[in-house]
Amino acid sequence: MGISDFEKFVNSQQEANADEKFVWDNMRDEWLANLDLLYQKVIDFLQEFVSTGSINYEFSNVMLTEEHLGTYSAKRMNIKIGRQQVSLEPIGTLLIACKGRVDAIGSAGRAQILLINEKANSPADLFKVTVTIGTGGKLPPPPPPAQTSQPISWTWKIVTNEARKRFVDLDKESLFAVLMEVANA
């Protein structure tokens, strides 16, 4: 092994690092685009109240820091309803079992809005756990190869504040319920 081998190694690591940065940058950009889609949906739901001046909203920037993505700017939506203010604050995209999280924060608390698989109705739907009992310390045989999975369709859902958490589709009614919940209405 000579100097030229080491030089090849160093160059290959630089190329790998550039490819990895491209992947992470794309993931961040996709997250920010999904965040914009969420905000547009919220604006559409609130439009009748915004048009009468009953509700106002504005955006401010927040800085998020996530491993691999680094520090980046994202938009927070601030919704003013009379004396109450509710903020839709982005939390991040590199989370377990979801593609993004935004917290609705008001004077009475917070609620989570997740970008998750549209087929998921509860946290249990996001995880598959296999428990093997009575194998005498031996590992069970590997499962058969998984069938080709369907691509995941991602959608925004609200996490309920019940003892048994559920995911509720984000629609006009569920958004209004969350806004009232976190604003103590």
Query: Which tens digits make up the pLDDT trace of 30-89?
Result: 999 999 999 999 999 999 999 999 999 999 999 999 988 889 999 999 999 999 999 999
Residue 148 has pLDDT above 70, yes or no: no
Look at residue 122 in the predicted model and tell me its pLDDT: 86
**Is the CB of residue 146 less than 8 Å from the CB of residue 109?**
no
Tokens of residue 38, six digits = 């969420």
Average pLDDT of every residue of the chain: 85
| C-alpha torsion sign, points 7, 10, 16, 20 | negative
Count other Cβ atoms within 10 Å, centred on residue 74. Answer: 20
Statement: the pTM of the whole predicted model exceeds 0.75: yes
Pairing relationship of beta strands 109-117 and 154-159 according to DSSP bridges: antiparallel
Name residue 80's beta-bridge partners: 56, 85
Sheet bearing 109-117, strands edge to edge: 55-66, 70-81, 84-92, 100-106, 109-117, 154-159, 167-169
Per-residue pLDDT of 90-124, as tens digits, reads: 999 888 888 999 999 999 999 999 999 999 888 88
The answer to whether 78 touches 94, Cβ cutoff 8 Å, is no
Pairing of strands 84-92, 70-81: antiparallel
- Per residue in 15-32, pLDDT tens? 555 556 667 888 899 999
